[in-house]
Amino acid sequence: MEKKKLIFIYFITSIIWIYGSNYVIEQYIPLPLMNFVERSKEILYILVTGGFLYFFMNKKEELTVSKEDQQRLSTLINSMVDFVNFKDGEGRWIEANEFGLQLFQLENVDYRGKKDSELANYTDFYGDALRYCEISDEEAWNNREITRIEEVLPVPDGSSKIFDTIKVPLFNPDGSRQGLVIIGRDITEKKEMALKLAESQQQYKSLFEYSPDIVYMMDINGMITNLNPQFDVITGFRREDAIGKNVNQLLPKRYRRYLPKFISTVVEDIKPVMYEINFPHANGNRIILQCTSLPIIINGSIAGIIGYGSDVTTLRETEERLRRTEKLSIVGELSASVAHEIRNPLTSLKGFVQLLQMDDVKHQYYHQIMLDELNRINDIVGELLLLAKPQILKYTHAGLQKLLTDVISLLNTEASLYNVQIEASFPENEIMIECEPNQLKQLFINIIKNSIEASQKGGLVSIELEQAEENKVFINIKDNGCGISKERLEKIGEPFYSSKEKGTGLGLTVSFKIVQSHQGTIHFDSLKNQGTSVQITLPVQQIINKRIQRLTKDKGKRA
């Protein structure tokens, strides 16, 4: 239509020019100059029409290039998965890609030249979102710089999409608004992944920070990279002081030679390694850690080692106590059968030796040795019977000072034989406790006798008695003798374990049982060649046993 109009104007203008110019020449140009003027008129017409043709051809080329550029731009923005929109300085839509039109349900709407608020009338669902765009556009204009915001758009299925929107305001040289370029990228999945990653990291952090066990991380060279707070609680050391150090600096010496093999097993064999170590606590005690180490695999390669260490000290001590209890139970069963079998022939042997002693004066020395050994066997059998069956204890009130004084008087003779002095330190006020006096005497005899035998000539055995708490008394028996090695100290109290040449290993077992039956505690401190200290703690009143006795009486009455 435009082409036909231009051709029509060209023909009319040409006719007017030809006839009009000819009329003017005939009327006003002299005859001699007429031919020159007509030729000049024709040349001018050619130049003018040629200039117009050249102008229109250039415009056509520019228009073609512009259309091609526009086509390329349209192809480019339509191939983008982002929302792209161009607006003029008044906020009217100039161009938008197909993704944006589909996003706002404007595929069949002639959007060009319209503002967001006008386009809002074409889509009920996105009406509010489009009207809000004008507000956010105004903020970008006022900022006069590239503005980045996150916009949440609802989706008809009830969900929503999050767009990372960039708005670029364009200005004319005079500062007036020229246009606005808007690019919005759907980051919904990215935000969800970031949220899941954050949740995963929080879960990992919670597992790491609040685990009841020690959680450790180290590189493949054994350098500690991280420790959780439980390290401070279990070991007593500060994790800040351990992080950054090689694990060699923390492990006891006896474990260091195994470290390279341990790391290679985890890293090369790619399998978990479990082991137990005795780790020094900050307070000087030893704790048992059960450790499990696993490889850290990142992008298919081993990046380090992660593991956890459980404090199994109490568990191992309980297992040891159970083992000792089982051993004691077996000893009791064995003792019950052996003791009764031994005592019958033992009585006969002792009677016959006494008869021989009366008739044979010449061999009195040998007869006495035989009687002493038979008495010793009888004492051992008595100890076996004590272990064999539970004793029904009848508690009475007794003075500890008197019990200890009687025991000291009894053992003074033996102490003199070893050239050992016994010193006693008792409070002035009499300490009365509920106990089975004979068993406590047996307990004190066993402990003090061991101290005398362990002391060197000219040694000293000190006995201290005090009541530091209302319902507890403390007895401390100390000597400066040969002491007990660490290995033997761990097994002390086990049946048939003795360091004495003629010892049965039952004396301390019986002692432990007596203390246990009195609801007390016994503890040994000793160093080789520096003496031994035995701390015995006993309750003043046997409260629990009283309740048991009362319940037993009540059941008897009901029966």
Write phi, then psi, for 144 (nearest 5 degrees).
55, 30
Confidence of residue 62 (pLDDT cuts 50, 70, 90): low
Residues 6+ apart with CB under 8 A from 292: 272, 273, 274, 307, 308
Residues 6+ apart with CB under 8 A from 558: none
CA–CA dist 389, 272 (Å, integer): 47
Q: Which residue has the higher pLDDT, 322 or 222?
A: 222
CA–CA dist 167, 148 (Å, integer): 6
pLDDT tens per residue, range 153-177: 888 888 889 999 999 999 999 989 9
pLDDT tens per residue, range 109-163: 999 999 999 999 998 888 888 999 999 999 999 999 999 988 888 888 888 899 9
pLDDT at position 46, please? 77
pLDDT at position 489, please? 67
pLDDT at 362 over 60: yes
Q: Which of 37-46, 325-334, 343-352, 463-472 tops mean pLDDT?
A: 463-472
Does residue 534 contact residue 524 with C-beta atoms inside 8 Å?
Answer: yes
Does residue 286 contact residue 312 with C-beta atoms inside 8 Å?
Answer: no
pLDDT at 88 over 90: yes
Mean pLDDT of 345-353: 77
Checking 496-504 for CB contacts under 8 A at 24+ apart, the result is: 496/331, 500/453, 504/380, 504/383
Write phi, then psi, for 519 (nearest 5 degrees).
60, 35
Half-sphere CA count of 48, side-chain side, radius 13 A? 10
Choose the weakest-confidence range: 61-65, 322-326, 466-470. 61-65
What value does the mean pLDDT of the chain take? 81
Does residue 493 contact residue 323 with C-beta atoms inside 8 Å?
Answer: no
pLDDT tens per residue, range 388-434: 555 566 788 888 998 898 888 878 888 888 888 888 889 888 889 89
pLDDT at position 235, please? 92
pLDDT at 25 over 80: no
Mean pLDDT of 484-492: 70
Q: Which residue has the higher pLDDT, 6 or 415?
A: 415
pLDDT at 279 over 70: yes
Q: Which residue has the higher pLDDT, 548 or 51?
A: 51
CA–CA dist 383, 378 (Å, integer): 9
pLDDT at 500 over 60: no
Four-residue CA torsion sign, 121, 127, 131, 133 = negative
pLDDT at position 328, please? 63
pLDDT at position 66, please? 60
**Ramachandran region, residue 492 (left: φ > 0; alpha: ψ -120 to 50; beta: rest):** beta
pLDDT at 224 over 90: yes
Q: How many residues does this entry show for the chain?
A: 559
Write phi, then psi, for 472 (nearest 5 degrees).
-140, 145
CA–CA dist 437, 459 (Å, integer): 28
pLDDT tens per residue, range 289-333: 999 999 988 888 888 999 999 999 988 888 877 777 676 666 666
pTM recorded for the entire structure: 0.48
pLDDT at 187 over 80: yes
